[in-house]
Every structure is written in C-alpha cells, then in structure tokens.
Structure 1
Amino acid sequence: MSHADQPPGPEQKQPGAPRPAQVRPVPPAELAARLGVEPPAPDAAPVTGITHDSRAVRRGDLYAALPGARFHGADFAPQAAELGAAAILTDPAGAERAAATGLPVLTVEDPRSRMGDLAAEIYGRPGGSLLQIGITGTSGKTTTAYLIEGGLRAVHGDRTGLIGTVESRIGDERLKSERTTPEATDLQALFAVMRERGIEALVMEVSSHALVLGRVDGAVFDVAVFNNLSPEHMEFHSGMEDYFQAKAQLFTPRRSRAGVVNIDDEYGRRLVRESQVPVTTFSAEGHPDADWRAEHVVTGPLRSTFTVAGPGGVRIEAASPLPGPFNVANALAAITALAVAGIDPQTAAQGVAAVPGVPGRLERVDAGQPYLAVVDYAHKTDAVESVLRALRKVTKGSLHIVLGCGGDRDETKRGPMGAAAARLADTAVLTSDNPRSEDPLAILTAMLAGAAGVPAHERGHVVVEPDRAAAIATAVALARPDDTVLVAGKGHEQGQDIAGVVRPFDDRQVLRAAIERAAATPAQEKDQDQL
C-alpha cells in the first residue's frame, strides 16, 4: 500500500528499501528535462534519492506525491519537506499543495507512470550492471525464483540477489518483503544497493499488479519467465483477458530481452504467438515442440528426478528438490531460464537440485510424528488441486487438508476451492485464512457451498472450524500413521489479518505445536490411568 492510501502513524517504523551509500547528485532541472516540464530555479538543491512515502523521505529526496484511494500524497508534502525533501513530483491535483511547501515541483499528468524511470535515472541505472531474471505467472513464481537463485549461486556464489513474496536477499542478507514486487522507488534503490555490494545476478518475482501499476518501470529483464495462468486476482482484473494482457506486458522490449514460456499452459501457447521478444519454450509434460523438455519423470515423497532434453541433443539428469509434477515444471523453468541467460545447463541443474527448500512451499513439519505434515502456500483452486494430487501419490493412508480463503479478495474462487478440498482429500477442515474486513463465517459459507456441490460418493468428510489453530489441531487429531496433513493457504506468512488487526500466526509453528500436544496427550492419559 502506498502512503497515499495510508495515513501516517507515529508508532510506525520508517518504511522503505535499503538505500545505496553513494548517489550522484542530480539537478532537478535534469529531471524536469527528462519529464518534459518547466525546469525549477537553477539554484535548486540536487536530488540524491526518491520515495513515494513521506515517512521514508531522506534529505535530498524527490518525494513522489501520488493520488490514492483515500488520500493524496500531496497532503503529506509538509512532512516530506520537514524531513529534507529536495523536490516534489506530483499531478495537477496535488500541485498547489506541493508548491505551498516552497520546494520545486515537477508536475505531470500521471506521476506513477514516470516514477520508475526517474528512480532508475536518480540511482544511475543500476539494473544495467546486473543479470536480471524476472518470473511471472499465477502459481510457482516463488518456488521458481528460489530454484533460479540456486542456479545463479552455482556460478556467482553469494554475489546473487533475490526479490519476492517471502523475502528479498542481497547475497546472504535477508530483508522482509512487504509485497511480491516492491514499488519502483524501492526497487531501483534495492538494485543500486545490490550493485554497490558487488551483486552480479538477481532473480525476482513480477506480479500482475507490479506490471499494471508500474512497479517494474525502469527495469529491463535479460530473461522473463512465464509459468502459467489461471483465475486469480479477479478483484483487481476485469477478467482473464485483462489478467493475461497484464502478464504479457513483461514480454515486450520495454520490459525484457528474451522470454521463457511454459507451453503446457494454454495461455503460454498463446503468449508464444503474441510475445514481442524472442521466446524459448519448455514443457514438463514432454511436448515434442518444446525447446526444453522433461522426460523420464519419477516423483517421490520428497523430490522428483527427471531428464532434461534440450536443443542440440543436450541431455541432463536433473532433480526438483520439492515433490509434485508442478515442481518438476518449476525446476525445468529454472533450468531453461538459466540456460537462456548463458549459464551452462549442467551447472544450472546442479544448482537447482541443491536448493534446500522454499519457505512455506510444501515445507515439512517434522516433530517425530508417524505421518507426513506439510505447510503450503496454495491459495487458489488449481494450486490446491495440484498439491493435493501430488500428496495423494505419496500418501499410503488418508489425506487431510486445512484450508481457508482470504477476505477482501476474489470471491469467485471460494466455492471451487471448497469443492477441490472436499473432492481430493479424505478430510477437509474448512477454516479462516486472512478474513481481513469480511465476516469469516460468510467466507466459510461460500466454501461450504462449493464442498456441498461435490457428489456424496466423491466427497470426503467436511468439517467447519472458523478458528484456524483449532482447525489445525482437528486435522492433527485425525491423523494416523502413513497419513498426510496439509495446512494450506498461508505458507510462509507469520500473521493473520482479522478485522484489520494482524495477529502473530505461523502455520508451521501452530502445526508443530499441535503435533507435539497430540503426542503428549496419550502419555498424559496413561499416567493418569496409573494413579
């Protein structure tokens, strides 16, 4: 959320990405010329940074005062000035308020659309010195990013970067992520820090929101990867066509130099036809027309192995460090992207196979129990179906899922997600995810309606438990040796948003605690019987 949508609070920690230590001062007149607007006075103070958040302003910054849903960034121009802003970028609606600060004002019709390019200019086009791989798609972005990072590390060691949903990394330093793709001002600053610290290559997730809202403006990826497309974010996009067109923006010369596309996906096949940059294709299903294919796939409970068949007779033995056919696709996407980026495919495959795991993506929770317990981020219908099918293949006993749907998000997926859980699991415990401002029971009612629509002979046992911790405990209580318990929807997240209040909640910790309590209970009961 930009500052234009959120009033400031004294208790809030100053947000914003890390900043480079050294920045060439840029005269505001130089920025005005780039924008095609009237230059400020010649003696105006130079600009040494940029931010869209008045609370994160540092001395010498260009403050981008953007219009928002509830507030206009120009409302906070006085605070930006007090913190040392050198100039203000805004639209005609904010120009008068910005000018009242006495700072130079650069006025354009759509400041958000110019912000990324200005940020890149202010920080000296830092992305140009980095090998950049961007990933888009509905599912698998995070996993593919970690797998690509593994391949990059096989060549560049700790001189690699990662930007994504779970975290950002600068070498071995970890930074918390507020969103999948940072705002353009923060992104370019992060690129500049990476360059300053000797980073040579990076991988990042590129969301459809980021493409539509200009968060990657000023960045040109050496390789852009498309994983797949299925209904998601329908509260943001007007429909699947709008969603596809947003993703397709990444495959234009303005955004990337080369594309890597999954042709097992129908939208991927369309993208191959419509891409404006050269495309290399891949298929985890062994499609003969693909440039890179997965063959002889063997899936196991912890990982999968396969043979990569590539151009010119290339054949490489490879492995996905996570189970499931969809992770074979993610691993193949990573190997293909790394090869297109100029990395030896064998080295790439070894780096991918060596990745120890991905936070919240089929992440095992092992407290000594005689059954498999995993946490996964699956929060859309196709992802829930994929992970349940993958786990079914490695589960000798019963399969239990704990699942909810997020509030203030796409309502159309709630019924289908409930149906998928009821159809593919032996027990579906429907619960709350992040209800946000919605009534949790209303969300569960929609999920339950979907589950009820599954024919009785195809439907597993369905339980409704609004309290997520209690729901996890319910699934654990049902688990027997050789069963699998899947807690889905939140993955790596460490909080639960209920009525606008984010409370600490980590599925991995709650699941582990439930397993430990369940294991202790029989022993306690036995001790009591002997009294």
Structure 2
Amino acid sequence: MQDMALRPSRAVPRTLAEVASRAGASLRAADAVAAAQIAVTGATVDSRDVRPGDLFGAFTGLKVHGATFAAAAADAGAVAVLTDAAGAEVLAELGVSLPVLLAADARVAMGEAAALVYGDPSRELAFVGVTGTNGKTTTAYFIDNALAQVHERRGIMGTVELRIGEETIESPRTTVEAPVLHGLLARMREEGVTAAVTEVSSHAAALERIAGVDFSVAVFTNLQWDHLDFHGTMEEYLAAKAKLFAPGRARRGIVNVDDQWGRRLVETVQIPIETVSTHVDDPQDADWVVTEADIGLDGVGSRFSFTAPDGSVHRAFSPLPGLVNVSNAMVAIAAAHAAGVPLPHAIEGVATAHGVPGRMERVVERSDRDPLAIVDYAHTPDALTLALQGVRPITPGRLILIFGSDGDRDQGKRPVMGGIAADLADVIVLTDENPRSEEPAAIRTAIRAGIEQARPDLHDVHEVEPRVAAVEYGLRLGRPGDTVIVTGKGHEPTQEIAGVFHRYNDRDAYLQAQARIVAEREGRAVDPGVAATVTVHGPVTTPTSGREDRA
C-alpha cells in the first residue's frame, strides 16, 4: 500500500462564522467579531494531522478529553477549536487562546462543520452506506463492482481499505472520523470519482462519524449478537444502526428483513425503504424476494432467482459460497439499483465481483495432495455458523476449523462460539485472535468450555499457540478432500497482544506454511517456522494424513 492524501488539494475558505452557523455552535462573545474574518480551510480531530487553517475538533475520549491536545493543534496552525462544555473548561485551564465554538453535541457539530468546509461532497456523488453486523464488507465490494458498470471512477471506505480510483491504503477502522470522511469524499470529487461506498459500523453511527453526510442509499444487512460490551442491549445496538436511516441523513434505504431486527427497523424509519428477503425456506413479505438458490455451485458461488418490486423474475449469481452470500448479493443488487444502476448491470456487476479480502477467500486450492484452505472474517456466533454451513457443501472430507475470539470484547459469546465449532466442524484447532489486554489462555479456556458442552470428550480438539503456528498445524492436518478454514481476523494485517500490534495476516500464514510443506515434499531445505505449543485435549478419532506430526 502507498501513502494517499486524505483531503482535497484545496478547499474554498469558509469563515468561522459560517462554520459556527452550519454546526449549530455558539461563539464566545470575545470571538464573535473576529469570526467573520477567520478563514477555515480544513478540519480534523487529530492534533497530529492539523494543517494551517484547520478547525480542530475536541471531544470527550475514553481516557482524556481531546481539548488536552488543543495547544499542539494551535502550534500546528489550527485557527479555532470546536468542543463541548467539558472541553471549554480544559481549554480555559490550559490557557489556549484560540477562538472556541461551543456545541452541545460536538461530534455532530464537527461533522456538519467538516461537510461545509469541504463543500458537501457527499451530495455530488452516488454515495452508498452499508451497515449491519455481518456482511458489510462483502456487500460493499459487491455494490462497488455493480456501480463500476456505470461509474468509471469510484471510491470505497471500509474495514479493509480506503480507495480512490486506483489509489489505496490500509484502513485504520471500519468507518473513519467525520472530518476524514468528508475530506476523502472531497478528494474523490476532485479526482473525478462519481460513486462511492462506505461501511458504517455501529460505533461510528453512535459516535456520529457520519454526521453531515448525505447518503444516496442506506443499506442494512442484518443484526446479530456482537458489540454488546459497547451498546449494552440489542435494542441499543439497533438504535445505533438506525441513525444511518435518519431523514436528512439518507435519501432512501434498502433493508434485509430476514431477521427480526430488520423488520423492526422498517417499522421505525421515516425515509423511503425497499425491503429484501433472501431465505427461500422462510420468505418474508418484501419488495425483493429470493425464490430459489443453488448453494455452493461448482464449489465456488451460488446461482439464485429473485423477484423484483415490479414482479419481474431474474437469475443472478453470487461469486462467494454459502446462503449468506446469496443474501449479500441480493442486497447489493437492490442497493446498486437504488443508486441508479440499471438492474441488468447491477446483476452482472455483482456476479463478476472479484474476491473480497478475508471473506471466504480461497488461499490454497484443493488438489490431489492439498486441502482447500479458506480465510474468513467470521467473528460472531451467527457469522461462524454461516461460514461453516457455507463451506460444508463444498467439503467432501473433513471440515477443519482454526479459530479463537477477541480479548476486551463481549465475553459472553466465547462459549457460544465454542459450541458452534463443536457442532459444525469435524476438527477444531483452538488458538488466539486478538487477545489485547487479556490473558490469551483465559480466552481459550472460555471457548473450550463451550466446546466441551457439545463435545464432552473433546475429541479432535487441538489447542495451538501462537496463531501463525496454529494455521500451519491446521493446514498440515488437512487431506485433499478436507477444507481448512481460519476465522476471526479475515483481512486484518495485525494481531494485538498485550497492547502491542504485531504484523500478521491469516492469508500470509497459510502461504508461508504451504511453502514449507511443498519444500518438504521436494526435499529442499525448510525454514522451521515458529515453534508451536500444542495440546491435544481428546482422542483423535479421525484418521489423519500424517502431516500434523511436522507442525
């Protein structure tokens, strides 16, 4: 990846008074007169990114208030600070002399301010926002390829990357902060981009990172058990997602009503909505309805039929396996069509979408000597269920799962995911995901408790650390008819352990392991790789290929 400018090369100056008016923020009496003469040319919430002429946004943080960094922002050229009452007190204590814009909700105000400063670029693009627990990334990439049928230059922002045309960098988070979002959209407009897609996480919606945006289409995929450590309840989780569908935020919406949460969302939103139903065994009353699906066609994707809102029937193709990707494909077709893509072009665009990084990504193809090896981001109970169910039809042999669970996140899902693994996988390789500040062994113990509930003798349960060694161990267990799938991290380029980010990627771990396996076959010198700590918890009841003894 390369460096990429995250804002336009120039912006039309706006006066601080104009910015305050758009943001709904008040100016101190001492600053009001000068505000008409102060030019604002950029916006940021990170003091390290301040450029001369910027408005600096300072919010309440997890550890400290952003106003703590206002002096550094001033030194870098910020012309004013937008903050809340708590931030104003910090500024007074520090003696920061910049003009202050005071807002009851500084995050919302900052989004509106950034939109004005960068010329409201979202209003000039076909801009699609995708939210939901599972499927955001896959659906966003499907939509992007559908938009490509009529838009030569596009942008995408999400979990994997930030991309403008052919430029791309690793994404720092699923949804960037509001000033970055508006700055990127303005840069896209400057580069001739006419359509863009962004993923919208529930955290981003709750923290108003999409404030000031005008979405052409808002998309909801599903709501499943996740992030309850942040939201508390599923109802609050849904309320955060619903922010994307607020009047003035999105012009129209596409909502998958396969689960109760999608149906509840439809009852509450006040913008025009088209609904989608994709479960052929439990169809819902909807505008777009999948009526038939051939899952796992040729071991790759799935063909399906659907009825459009006008009653016409169409055939389509999902390039990724599993019913979940029929759902993602159908939602993407409806969303692209809502964004102005003719329906035949939307169907073709989704069918020809390239592989999505870390989403049912085939890394090692099945051969007469090797298992199929797949990377998938599944990190919630429902996503893990769908991933394992999705690859079962393309697995003539055993299904070998390599997985763990995040630290410092919802602990209640760990034993649940262990039970799912025990029910749906033949062989389990339990390892670490992102332990963060937690003790990795404690996370694995919680998962193992769930495995043991469903599989009391813990047969075919192997516990291996570190993760890179677990990936190789699982790959070596596989025979030609088997499928090895590693879940939880997907595309992620790092692993967080004890607060330190280490470069790591599941796809790379597979490729490195496969290179060693091939070298062994050919009698070449082999890099020994990373030493593994292995515990086999129960009997190995399935005959193995003999490859695991070299892990």
Q: TM-score range by the shorter chain?
A: over 0.9
TM-score for the superposition, normalised by structure 2: 0.89
Give the match for residue 209 of structure 1: 203
Give me the identity figure in percent.
47
Give the match for residue 284 of structure 1: 278
Q: 1:136-215 alignment to 2 at 5 Å?
A: 136-157=131-152, 159-215=153-209
1:451 aligns with 2:451: yes
For residues 390 and 108 of structure 1, the distance between their equivalents in structure 2, rounded to whole angstroms, comes to 48
Give the match for residue 19 of structure 2: 31
Taking a change above 3 Å as real, the CA distance of residues 388 and 108 of structure 1, as seen in their structure-2 partners, is: same
Give the match for residue 6 of structure 1: none
TM-score for the superposition, normalised by structure 1: 0.92
* 1:146-176 deviation line (CA, Å, top 9, x unaligned): 000000001112x211111001211221122
Q: 1:356-435 alignment to 2 at 5 Å?
A: 356-366=354-364, 369-435=369-435
1:105 corresponds to which of 93, 100, 107: 100
Give the match for residue 318 of structure 1: 316
For residues 345 and 398 of structure 2, the distance between their equivalents in structure 1, rounded to whole angstroms, comes to 39
For residues 525 and 88 of structure 1, the distance between their equivalents in structure 2, rounded to whole angstroms, comes to 62
User: Which amino acid letter does the alignment assign opposite residue 33 of structure 2?
Assistant: A
Give the match for residue 10 of structure 1: none
For residues 447 and 152 of structure 1, the distance between their equivalents in structure 2, rounded to whole angstroms, comes to 41
Taking a change above 3 Å as real, the CA distance of residues 456 and 446 of structure 1, as seen in their structure-2 partners, is: closer
Report the secondary structure of 1:313's partner residue. coil
For residues 75 and 175 of structure 1, the distance between their equivalents in structure 2, rounded to whole angstroms, comes to 29
Q: 1:117-132 alignment to 2 at 5 Å?
A: 117-132=112-127
Report the secondary structure of 1:19's partner residue. coil
Give the match for residue 539 of structure 2: none
User: Which amino acid letter does the alignment assign opposite residue 119 of structure 2?
Assistant: G
Q: 1:295-306 alignment to 2 at 5 Å?
A: 295-299=291-295, 300=297, 301-306=299-304
* Runs ≥4 residues deviating over 4 A: none
User: Which amino acid letter does the alignment assign opposite residue 492 of structure 2?
Assistant: E
For residues 182 and 36 of structure 1, the distance between their equivalents in structure 2, rounded to whole angstroms, comes to 23
* 1:201-228 deviation line (CA, Å, top 9, x unaligned): 1111111111110000001212111111
1:54 corresponds to which of 38, 47, 50: 47
* 1:421-456 deviation line (CA, Å, top 9, x unaligned): 111111011100010110000000100000001045
The 8 Å contact of residues 137 and 159 in structure 2, kept in 1 or not, is answered as yes
Taking a change above 3 Å as real, the CA distance of residues 188 and 460 of structure 1, as seen in their structure-2 partners, is: farther
Give the match for residue 347 of structure 1: 345
* 1:231-261 deviation line (CA, Å, top 9, x unaligned): 1001101111111111122222132121111
Q: CA deviation at 1:279?
A: 1.4
Q: CA deviation at 1:341?
A: 2.1
Q: CA deviation at 1:317?
A: 2.0
Give the match for residue 224 of structure 2: 230
| Structure 2 unpaired stretches of 5+ | 527-551
- What is the aligned-residue RMSD (CA, Å)? 2.0
Taking a change above 3 Å as real, the CA distance of residues 341 and 460 of structure 1, as seen in their structure-2 partners, is: farther
For residues 150 and 338 of structure 2, the distance between their equivalents in structure 1, rounded to whole angstroms, comes to 14
* 1:458-486 deviation line (CA, Å, top 9, x unaligned): x7621111311221122112111110000
The 8 Å contact of residues 88 and 98 in structure 1, kept in 2 or not, is answered as no
Report the secondary structure of 2:465's partner residue. coil
Taking a change above 3 Å as real, the CA distance of residues 16 and 412 of structure 1, as seen in their structure-2 partners, is: farther
